[in-house]
Amino acid sequence: MDWAAYGNRGMEMGKATGFLEYQREVPGEIQPLGRISSWEEFSVPLEEEKLRVQGARCMDCGTPFCHAGRLISGMASGCPVHNLIPEWNDLVYRGSWREALKRLQKINNFPEFTGRVCPAPCEGACTVGKNGSPVTIKSIEKAIIDRGFAEGWIQPEIPGTRTGKRVAVVGSGPAGLACADQLNQAGHTVTVYERADRVGGLLMYGIPNMKLDKATVQRRVDLLMAEGIDFVTGCEVGKDLTTEQLLESYDAVVLCGGSTRMRDLNLEGRRLEGIYQAMDFLTQNTRSLLDSGLEDGRYISAKGKDVVVIGGGDTGTDCVATAIRHGCRSVTQLEIMPQPPLTRQPANPWPEWPKVLKTDYGQQEAIRVFGNDPRRYLTSTKRFVGDERGVISGVHISEIEWKTSDQGGMIPDFIPGTEQVLPADMVLLALGFTGPEEGLLSQLGIQQDARSNVKTREGSFSTNVEGIFAAGDMRRGQSLVVWAIQEGRQAAKEVNRYLLKETVSSVI
């Protein structure tokens, strides 16, 4: 296909009245009670004809905010990797699946990941969604890449020549993988170091299997290996491999270690047995699941326990769903923020990310199993209590209201008379992350910013140390998988310039 001509097709793109004729339809799901005994993904793909109809809803809006990828009011609006969404929507509508795959892969290294776990800021910025239901962009993206693998269209693309330059990527999460992929395709020799026993970082151990099957992650890793990338697992740079060895062996280093320093809750009773960090809970569960189908018992089990999850984000939801699959007795999820509204508010206009109430898969399952939504909003923890053995037995909570401090900021204030004690045999802290771990950064002499993230020059991915770059959560702070991919891609461009001392390779 002549892509230059394709880009000038104007109003021929899509079915001009599709958004008026067809209603939004999303893939089905195995019902909650039918899926909680399994660790498998539970989405039921749409049939091809239905996907084509959904592609027809893309309205050729002229200015496609869906792939703008901008921060508005601190939230992503549109796709951070700038997916060519209207183009592959149109190609799906026309039944040109292989061409749709080419357009999808041109911008996004790993659509099989974003098509499963991305919250779809593209849909939040969809023009059709301004006065109706947005196009099912995420579902179409997933269908394109899954079909590409199923049809055998995706094969290893091995660079024809090598530059002789060697690059080390530290960390194999989405930023590290994207950076390694881009640099490898540019002809550089790339080695990725991962301290865990499997490649994938957050993709492998931070996201439960029912949201992102680990065979999907491994399939991509195997492809990258076939294309020439070398992966070294079980190796923590700065310990197993010294920084001196690292710098002597490579022409450039890219730090993609993520934001892995977990936020804690230092309250009375915090050291009681039975209080865990959410990521430890999720990581151990996935590792045991992959190693033995949970037969080895080397994970933190919620079976038969009253579980309290502190934190209302995606990680908290994953904890709720995992605890239910273990067979917990009850589960409660505490959220210090107020319940979001059911619809967009005037202060949250399109194309901003819609800050509205969503009932995710974990809450759906809790409602069916226990008869109520596990979330309690405007609730804060005051202290933990335990039994005579030093084991957690309860969580003292109180309702709060947000007030303006003397400095003008918003602070939570406990409401008298609302304190109560929740029974708890297990508490999971899903409070997010405060930045990257500092050991390796200190050894390398890397400067950090006020938020403790790696400090890079404005508009750049280079650190204060010559030849060392940073990307992903380690640089920007805890964020979305799709932002990590974009960071890895952009860092690769800069590394390529540095290595070749000339204009960026056309491959990148």
- Residues 307, 424, single domain; the answer is yes
> Residue 150 to residues 144, 170, 216: CA-CA distances in angstroms?
10, 31, 12
pLDDT of the residue at 14: 64
Distance CA 217, CA 225 (A): 13
Reported as a single tens digit per residue, the pLDDT across 345-356 is: 999 999 999 999
**pLDDT of amino acid 11:** 41
Whether 476 is covered by a domain: the verdict is: yes
| 402 and 465 part of one domain | no
Residues 172 and 311 in one domain: no
**Do residue 193 and residue 126 come from a single domain?**
no
The CATH number assigned to the domain holding 372 equals: 3.50.50.60
Domain shared by 16 and 108, yes or no = yes
Cβ atoms of 491 and 170 within 8 Å: the answer is no
Range of the domain at 303: 275-429
Q: What is the pLDDT of residue 502?
A: 58
- Taking the C-alpha atoms of residue 260 and residue 432, their distance in angstroms, rounded to an integer, is 9
Q: Give the DSSP letter string of 227-274.
A: TT-EEEES--BTTTB-HHHHHHH-SEEEE------B-----TTTTSBT
What is the rounded average pLDDT for all residues in the chain? Answer: 94
Query: Is the peptide bond preceding residue 119 cis, with omega within 30 degrees of 0?
Result: no
Please list the helix, strand and coil fractions of the chain in percent, rounded to the nearest 5, in that order: 35, 20, 45
Q: Are residues 291 and 410 in the same domain?
A: yes
pLDDT digit string, tens, across residues 69-117: 999 988 889 999 999 999 999 999 999 999 999 999 999 999 999 999 9
Question: Using N-to-C axis directions, what is the helix angle for 361-370 and 314-326, rounded to 10°?
Answer: 40
Listed residues 429, 448, 477: the one ending a domain? 429
| Claim to verify: residue 255 and residue 226 sit in the same structural domain | yes
Does residue 228 lie in a domain region? yes
Ramachandran sector of residue 492 (left: φ over 0; alpha: ψ -120 to 50; beta: rest): alpha
In this structure, the answer to whether residues 360 and 484 fall within a common structural domain is no
Looking at residue 4, what is its pLDDT?
38
From 393, 410, 429, the end of a domain falls on 429
330-334 and 28-29: which strand pairing? unpaired
Q: Does the pLDDT value for residue 340 go beyond 60?
A: yes
Judged against a pLDDT cut of 60, whether residue 3 lies above it is answered with no
Domain match, 414 and 288 both: yes
Q: Are residues 380 and 495 in the same domain?
A: no
Instruction: Determine contact, residues 394/382, Cβ cutoff 8 Å.
Output: no
**Considering the chain, what percentage of its residues have pLDDT values greater than 70?**
96
CA atoms of 143 and 496, how far apart (whole Å): 32
Which amino acid appears at position 301 of this protein? S
Q: Which pLDDT value is given to residue 507?
A: 58
Domain annotation covers residue 74: yes
Token reading at 106 = 């041109």
Residue-wise pLDDT for 375-423, tens only, equals 999 999 999 999 999 999 999 999 999 999 888 889 999 999 999 999 9
- Same domain, residue pair 374 and 444: no
Mean pLDDT is highest, among 13-17, 67-71, 249-253, 401-405, for 249-253
> How far apart, in Å, are the Cα atoms of 459 and each of 77, 78, 471?
19, 20, 12
Tokens of 334: 């505490």
Pairing mode, if any, of strands 392-404 and 410-414? antiparallel
CA dihedral 201, 206, 208, 214 (to 10 degrees): 0
Is the per-residue pLDDT at 200 higher than 60?
A: yes
Could you tell me the CA-to-CA distances from 332 to 267, 358, 375, 467 in Å, in that order?
19, 17, 6, 48
The structural domain count of the chain equals 3
pLDDT tens digits for 292-322? Answer: 999 999 999 999 999 999 999 999 999 999 9
Residues 245 and 218 in one domain: yes
Residue 333 has phi, psi (to 5 degrees) of: -120, 120
